[in-house]
Structure 1
Amino acid sequence: MKHLIIYAHPNEGSLNHHFMQTVEKILQSKNQEIEIRDLYQLNFNPILSLQDMQGQRIGKVAEDVKQEQDYISWADHLTFIYPIWWTGMPAIMKGYIDRVFSYGFAYRYDQGIQKGLLTDKQTTIINTQGKSKSEYENIGMDKALSLTSDKGIFTYCGLEINQHFFFDKADKTHAETIEEWSTQIKNHFSK
């Protein structure tokens, strides 16, 4: 199986980086093909320009966008790893979605009906957040996050979400909890 990991965190010492390495190791142990797109390391340009928008409508995208689209087309399984900042994805990840999940590549409209084009691709999402699950549940943010990312982006484009991990209070966690979360990730990718 071909796995594409799309990762966004600037700190190599972060919990997100640990999770990215955990996913990479388990996939390597299963002799899977892996590509990692570290958006900060790539210095990916997240700004959707007028030129990008005009090009998307006629099927012409910038070379950096085309390269990322080629990786997505290649993959059987996409894994997104990023923190939740200000109740959403980091700007670099949002910009990646804006530019790479373009009209005609990730979705289109047929006679006014939206159609996702990234079908037959499994997807796993791994998020860390500072707030507790109960805090997010009390204000409805847990549902909002699932609605805006899962339904509003990923399934909208035809991706099949296998698992969406939300690891809470990630900035105040202990080694035992990190090990438990890592085990959950390992078990998911061992299936």
Structure 2
Amino acid sequence: MKKLIIFAHQHQDSFNRAILDQVESTLKEKGHEVIVRDLYKLNFQPLLKPEDTESMKTGKIPEDIKTEQNFITESDAIIFIYPIWWSNMPAILKGYFDRVFSFGFAYTAGAQGAVPLLKGKKGMIINTYGAPEEHYESIGMNAAFKTTMDVGIFGFTGIEPVEHLLFGSVTEVDDSARKKMLEKIKETVKKSF
């Protein structure tokens, strides 16, 4: 089974990179084929341009969008790994959703409204942020992150959310705390896939 990892962090030595390495190695240990799409390494162009939407209206999908859509189509699960900045995902990932999860691919319209087109796929999200996890939990931010992705994007497109992990204070904690986070990620990935 193919697993697709969408990675959105600009630094190669970040803790998010360690998370990516952990997820990828755990999946491979379980015998899964793994495809990693590192949006920064790919220099993914995040702006949805008028010519993109005009091309899609005529059935001509821009090549970079079609490439990403093919990876999604061929995968049974998608894992998103990214930091939370300004209470949201990095702009490059938002642009990925804007361009790749397009009408006619990720959803369409029906008599009752939107119809999801990515049913049968599983989704996981792993987020990091600098604020203390307890603080974000107490003010409702963790719930907001989960609603935005698990319901707003996964639910809208038909992807089944299997887990959404949030790790706070990643810029402040020591290596032993980070190792515990990576262990939790490993166990969660093993259990989920």
Q: TM-score, normalised by structure 1?
A: 0.95
- Unaligned stretches of 5+ residues in structure 1: none
Match of 2:80 in 1: 80
Residue 18 in structure 1 maps to residue 24 in structure 2? no
1:86-124 per-residue CA deviation (whole Å, 9 max, x = no partner) reads 000000000000000000100111024211111111111
Give the superposition deviation at 1:61: 1.7
Residue 109 in structure 1 maps to residue 94 in structure 2? no
Give the partner amino acid of 1:82: Y
Partners of 2:2 and 2:41 in 1: how far apart?
21
Structure 2 counterpart SS, 1:118: coil
After the TM superposition, which of the residue ranges 72-81 and 128-137 deviates more from structure 2? Answer: 128-137
Match of 1:185 in 2: 185
Match of 1:6 in 2: 6
Give the partner amino acid of 1:104: G
Give the partner amino acid of 1:142: N
Give the superposition deviation at 1:131: 1.1
Structure 2 counterpart SS, 1:61: coil
Counterpart contact for 1:7–1:38, Cα < 8 Å: yes
Structure 2 counterpart SS, 1:155: helix
Give the superposition deviation at 1:58: 4.1
Residue-pair matches, total: 191
1:38-94 per-residue CA deviation (whole Å, 9 max, x = no partner) reads 000000000000112223344432100000000000001100000000000000000
After the TM superposition, which of the residue ranges 14-23 and 140-149 deviates more from structure 2? Answer: 140-149
Partners of 1:149 and 1:26 in 2: how far apart?
23
Q: Which residues of 2 match residues 110-125 of structure 1 at below 5 A?
A: 110-125=110-125
Counterpart contact for 2:56–2:62, Cα < 8 Å: no
Match of 2:63 in 1: 63
Structure 2 counterpart SS, 1:69: helix
1:143-175 per-residue CA deviation (whole Å, 9 max, x = no partner) reads 221222221112211101110000011111111
Partners of 2:158 and 2:78 in 1: how far apart?
12
After the TM superposition, which of the residue ranges 105-114 and 63-72 deviates more from structure 2? Answer: 105-114
Structure 2 counterpart SS, 1:11: coil
Partners of 1:188 and 1:134 in 2: how far apart?
21
Match of 1:144 in 2: 144
Counterpart contact for 2:9–2:83, Cα < 8 Å: yes
- Unaligned stretches of 5+ residues in structure 2: none
Match of 1:100 in 2: 100
Q: TM-score, normalised by structure 2?
A: 0.94
Structure 1 counterpart SS, 2:37: strand
Partners of 2:124 and 2:142 in 1: how far apart?
17
Q: 1:42 to 1:153 in 2, by over 3 A?
A: same
Counterpart contact for 2:115–2:157, Cα < 8 Å: yes
Question: Please, what is the CA RMSD of the aligned residues?
Answer: 1.2
Match of 2:32 in 1: 32
Give the partner amino acid of 1:160: E
Partners of 2:80 and 2:122 in 1: how far apart?
11
Partners of 1:190 and 1:125 in 2: how far apart?
14
Give the partner amino acid of 2:142: D
